[in-house]
Amino acid sequence: MTPENRPGGPTRRNERGRERNRSGSRQFSSTAPAERTRRADPARLVAYEVLRAVAADDAYANLVLPGSIRKHRLGRQDAGFATELAYGALRAQGTYDAILALCVDRPLTQLDPAILDALRLGTHQLMAMRVPPHAALDQTVGLARAVIGAGPSSLINAVLRKVSRKSFDEWLDALVTGVEDPVRISSLRYSHPEWIVRALRQSLVNHGRPVEEIDALLEADNAAPVVNLVALPGIGSLDEAMAAGARSGELVKDSALFAAGDVGRLESVRSGKVRVQDAGSQLVARALAAVDLDRRGAGGEQWLDLCAGPGGKSALLAAIAAQRGDTLVANEPAEHRAALVRQALGAVDPAVWSVRVGDGREIGAAYPEGFDRILVDAPCTGLGALRRRPESRWRRTASDLTELGPLQRGLLAAALEAVRPGGVVAYVTCSPHPAETSAVVQDSLRGREGYTLMEAGPVLDSVSTGRSLQAGHGATAQLWPHIHGTDAMFLALIRRTAG
């Protein structure tokens, strides 16, 4: 594992999270824990609140974090420190718990969950942020005294001292020594549940990639994704983003990569004319629009986004449709998510789009042969977008895969009924797992006359910036974080040949 791609990534900071530790010293404070600070450093307090909300309230870290940063009035640098600490500790939780299990004299399940979260934060500072050990200890003990009470300070101090006696690489070696099972080794080294390691190994093989790529894939999950922007065609411009430090996207046209801080300060983004969207999502939406249809419907084509919420792909599709004189129906069953779709479509001429609130599985009966192009961006496990939500890998379970199957098949079946002869359906997931990608497509086409699977790879290439993405395998296509730098989007394009 390279230091940059370790869960959380390394930085050298002092206890305030501001200055770099150039000495790399492993000096400890000579002060007894009980005499040390009783004050919680606000940045660490924010990270602690995020971990607690995730563990105790099932909260999403990315939703809790901004409110906590505001509540504690963190400046930009401290906010960055808190983000790195919270997200890093959450991503690396599996590895850190394995380390902590070797340093605590009882099963971790017998620890107060609040103490365990404090230990995870201390461990992340020691292992990946290179905060000086004395600062990591003092500040974690101070945090625990302020928010949990004086009781656990000796325990936290003693455990973190043990953790600090080895470097992260030394701990990783200690964890995997004597372990034979490659799945367990990858799980420990790259902090993923074993069932996800197994699922992703299976996914690589299913899409024609060597299973040896698994570590690179897991490593890519541990790196925070760069913000990708798309200028809505005919509506937005990337000029402001480029002037603010963005660089042109390498995969897809009219896109940019923005690593210059808070993207919300750009007026073009606030107005919705430029949108934050993963390059993989841009590619699959553009691929649907790029398919050559044998004939155009009278008065422009009708497009359908069957699973539209929160509306990212709808906005891009509607902007393209507007340029061509086509129209888009964006369907979403949940009213609050349909409201997000309307908001996402706000920058596009309202004459071009409409939002339907309803179950996508009913669309075939409601609009038989009613659409020229249909996007089925199906609800899925999100195994291809684990890098976006630091806690998601610990939330998902293997049973999610089987539970989502009937819904995914129902949605694709409805789309196949709702597409007109000559039209095309794009089945898309942000998961590479065969159970929700190729198996759904194969099952839906089995015994169904009048549909063919198109070669999706060349269509994806046709909307890239010119390079061959080499994403095709069989007739479908699969993008990968470790190869393309995108979420692991799957794309199948199904043409209806006969009514």
Ligand X SMILES: C[S@@+](CC[C@H](N)C(=O)[O-])C[C@H]1O[C@@H](n2cnc3c(N)ncnc32)[C@H](O)[C@@H]1O
Half-sphere exposure in the Cβ direction for 54 (13 Å, CA): 27
Site for ligand X in 287-306 (CB under 6 A): 306
Please report how the helices 214-221 and 182-190 are oriented relative to each other, as an axis angle in degrees rounded to 10.
20
| 237 φψ region: left (φ > 0), alpha (ψ -120 to 50), beta (else) | beta
Please report how the helices 113-127 and 153-164 are oriented relative to each other, as an axis angle in degrees rounded to 10.
30
User: Which pairing describes strands 419-429 and 274-276: parallel, antiparallel, or unpaired?
Assistant: unpaired
313 is in an annotated binding site: yes
Please report how close the Cβ of residue 309 comes to ligand X at its closest, in angstroms. 3
SS3 readout for 68-119: HHHHCCCCHHHHHHHHHHHHHHHHCHHHHHHHHHCCCCCCHHHCCHHHHHHH
Q: Is 333 in the site for ligand X (CB under 6 A)?
A: yes
Q: What's the rounded Cα separation, in Å, for the pair 439 and 444? A: 8
Q: Is 309 in the site for ligand X (CB under 6 A)?
A: yes
Nearer to ligand X, 132 or 481 (CB): 481
Q: Is 405 in the site for ligand X (CB under 6 A)?
A: no
Whether 430 sits among the annotated catalytic residues: the reply is yes
473 CB neighbour count, 10 Å cutoff = 15
Please report how close the Cβ of residue 219 comes to ligand X at its closest, in angstroms. 24
Among 145, 201, 286, 313, binds ligand X (CB under 6 A): 313
CB under 8 Å to 67, separation ≥6 — which residues?
none
Among 193, 310, 421, 474, binds ligand X (CB under 6 A): 310
Among 221, 301, 332, 487, binds ligand X (CB under 6 A): 332
Nearer to ligand X, 53 or 230 (CB): 230
Place of tokens 């390279």: 2
409 CB neighbour count, 10 Å cutoff = 18
In DSSP terms, 427 is beta-bridged to 376, 492
359 is in an annotated binding site: yes
Q: Is 311 in the site for ligand X (CB under 6 A)?
A: yes
Distance set, CA 386 to CA 7, 460, 474 (Å) = 12, 23, 25
Q: Is 166 in the site for ligand X (CB under 6 A)?
A: no
Please report how close the Cβ of residue 359 comes to ligand X at its closest, in angstroms. 4
**DSSP assignments along 126-146, one per residue:** HHTS---HHHHHHHHHHHHHH
Q: What's the rounded Cα separation, in Å, for the pair 360 and 415? A: 8
Indicate which residue of 45, 430, 459, 493 is catalytic: 430
377 is in an annotated binding site: yes
Nearer to ligand X, 187 or 281 (CB): 281
Q: Is the dihedral of CA 190, 104, 24, 167 positive or negative?
A: negative
Please report how close the Cβ of residue 307 comes to ligand X at its closest, in angstroms. 3
Nearer to ligand X, 42 or 382 (CB): 382
**Per-residue x/- mask for ligand X, residues 336 to 375, rule CB under 6 A?**
-x---------------------xxx--------------
3-class DSSP assignment, residue 491: strand
Nearer to ligand X, 188 or 285 (CB): 285
307 is in an annotated binding site: yes
Please report how close the Cβ of residue 337 comes to ligand X at its closest, in angstroms. 5
**Per-residue x/- mask for ligand X, residues 116 to 155, rule CB under 6 A?**
----------------------------------------
Among 307, 322, 425, 440, binds ligand X (CB under 6 A): 307
Please report how close the Cβ of residue 377 comes to ligand X at its closest, in angstroms. 4
Q: Can you say how many angstroms the Cα of residue 437 is from the centroid of all Cα atoms in its chain? A: 18
Q: Count residues contacting ligand X (CB under 6 A)?
A: 20
Among 193, 300, 379, 405, binds ligand X (CB under 6 A): 379
Please report how close the Cβ of residue 405 comes to ligand X at its closest, in angstroms. 13
Note whether 90 and 51 are within 8 A (CB): yes
Residues near ligand X (CB under 6 A) are: 281, 306-313, 331-334, 337, 359-361, 377, 379, 411
Q: Which residues are annotated as a binding site?
A: 307-313, 332, 359, 377
Please give the annotated binding residues for S-adenosyl-L-methionine, written as ranges: 307-313, 332, 359, 377
User: Could you give the residue numbers annotated as active site?
Assistant: 430
